[in-house]
Structure 1
Amino acid sequence: MRCLIVDDVKFFRLVIKEFIELDDALTLVAECDNAIEAHKRILNDQVDLIFLDIQMPGMNGLELAKILKNGYPLVIFTTCNSQYAVEAFELNAVDYLLKPVSLSRFIGAVDKAKKLLKPSIEILDHCSNEFVFIRDSNVVRKLSFRDILYFESTGDYVRIALGEKEYSIHSSLKSIWPKLPVNTFLRVHRSFIVNLNKIDSIEGKTLIIRKHLIPVSGAYRPELNKYMSFL
């Protein structure tokens, strides 16, 4: 996977560069200190994944992401502020990492990108009030709802996050949503359904589950507020 680092702070570029060098599946194409230079590099070279800062002089990271076509290259935002999480996920970002970026969060985000470039062929097969079955090639796996952190829509696939593990299924949130226990899961964004029992905190338009930042859309906020009223 050919990577590009875009950040106006050299120290943060160095951190991501060192992380990239730890994964043999990643190749650093270049590092840029501004979005305009990065855009030129994207047009003239093959780039699969961008580690993109948001607050930069001139064109910022969100503006660069908006002009990328068809969601490619994939984008992992790296920023010091959580306030841009909603807009970032509206742009179909792979992940949103807060600085200082830890190695564990970096690995998790890269794993998500790898699955998007080479999605699995798992299919949602059957579910009950306590568990769901997914088909992984010739293996049928049983997943307990209590272990699922959230579902995330990524194009034609849905990522099921379970802390240490995750699976990608060829499905949509629209088809999954009616099959989930209503008192356990709640849709908070067009791209996210969360396990209410796994929410650690809510900060403005963002909720946090195991250090993962998940945007909350205005259209879904009233339902979330109803849940919060019972606390």
Structure 2
Amino acid sequence: MRCLIVDDNDMARLMLSQLVTQTGLLEVIGECRDALEAHQQITRHAPDLVFLDIEMPGMSGIELLRSLPKKPLIIFTTSNKDYALEAFELNVADYLLKPVTLPRLLMAIDKAREVLQRDNSEVNNIDEDYIFIRDNGALKKVKLEDILWIEAMGDYIKIYTPGKWHIVHTTLKAVEEKIRSPRLMRIHRSYIVALDKIDSIEDGVLNIMSTPIPVAESYRSQLMKKLKLL
């Protein structure tokens, strides 16, 4: 995994970088001394993992994480254990108290690798007719013909099928790349819909089973081309 180290303390960055190098498990692609620099580096280089100090001048690590539109895996590093609850509510991989020790760092890296491997396999395109999704530790089959629409919800997606829905930790972009089906189409930054399930379209909104779904202007022309218009 490619990682970025963010800490306003020069010595803390140096010590953590040396420990990370000792593990032989990660590639350090950069170091940042404040949140603004970190935001730029994360946006530009998309690291797999960020070691993020919480208490920094100007913008805290927690504020930085909340500001990122696409969030990498985060391991918080801090001298203050009082942030633990808030940190885990942000769904971070781990929370390291300074001074960081090598055994504890190895545990955190193992957690991050497990999360990354899980996220990369949350939606698996096994066949053109169905996918498997991870649900409470089990893999469950979802037939593509049953999908009504898929909605983006932050770092998750919600797959709607008749009578039920599924929450999966992935992105709409990943779904588009893994599910190749002519019946499914992106019609908004937050929605993919099943073309054959559309009941009506009016004033930039389509309806599926009485649920209104917005159609973005940038997708409207492409949608019209795919519909069978008389």
TM-score, structure 1 normalization: 0.51
SS at match of 2:3: strand
CA shift at 1:67, angstroms?
Answer: 1.8
**1:39 Cα deviation from its structure 2 partner:** 0.3
Taking a change above 3 Å as real, the CA distance of residues 50 and 99 of structure 1, as seen in their structure-2 partners, is same
Encode CA deviations 1:83-138: one digit per residue, 9 max, x unaligned: 111111111111111111111111000000111111399xxxxxxxxxxxxxxxxx
The one-letter amino acid paired with 1:42 is I
Question: How far is 1:23 from its partner?
Answer: 2.8
SS at match of 2:56: coil
Aligned equivalent of 1:184? none
Task: Look up the equivalent residue of 1:82 and give its one-letter code.
Answer: K
How much identity, in percent, do the aligned residues show? 48
Q: Cα distance 1:114–1:10, how it changes in 2: closer, same or farther (>3 A)?
A: same
Q: Following the alignment from structure 2 to structure 1, what is the Cα–Cα distance between the partners of residues 77 and 32? A: 14
Q: Given the two structures, how large is their TM-score scaled by the length of structure 2?
A: 0.51
1:139-183, Cα deviation, whole Å (9 max, x unpaired): xxxxxxxxxxxxxxxxx677xxxxxxxxxx448xxxxxxxxxxxx
Partner residue, 1:93: 92
Q: 1:25 is matched with which residue?
A: 25
Task: Find runs of 4+ consecutive structure 1 residues off by over 3 angstroms.
Answer: none
Q: Does 1:113 align with 2:123?
A: no
- For structure 1, which runs of at least 5 residues remain unmatched after alignment? 122-155, 159-168, 172-231
Q: Which amino acid is the alignment partner of residue 94 of structure 2?
A: D
From the CA coordinates, give the structure whose radius of gyration is larger: 2
Partner of residue 36, structure 2: 36
Q: Which residue of 2 aligns with 1:12?
A: 12
- CA–CA distance in structure 1, aligned partners of residues 51 and 30 of structure 2: 11
Distance 1:118 1:63, change over 3 A: same
The alpha carbon displacement at 1:47 in A equals 0.5
Identify, as 1 or 2, the structure richer in helix.
2
Q: Which amino acid aligns with 2:9?
A: V
Letter in 2 for 1:96: Y
Partner Cα separation in structure 2 for residue 90 and residue 33 of structure 1: 25
Partner of 2:47: 47
* Pair 1:120–1:50, CA change in 2 (3 A): closer
Residues 47-95 of structure 1, C-alpha deviations (whole Å, 9 max, x = no match):
010000011110110001112235x310000000011111111111111
Q: Which runs of 5+ in 2 are unaligned?
A: 121-133, 140-230
**Which protein, 1 or 2, shows the higher relative CO under an 8 Å CA cutoff with sep ≥ 6?**
1
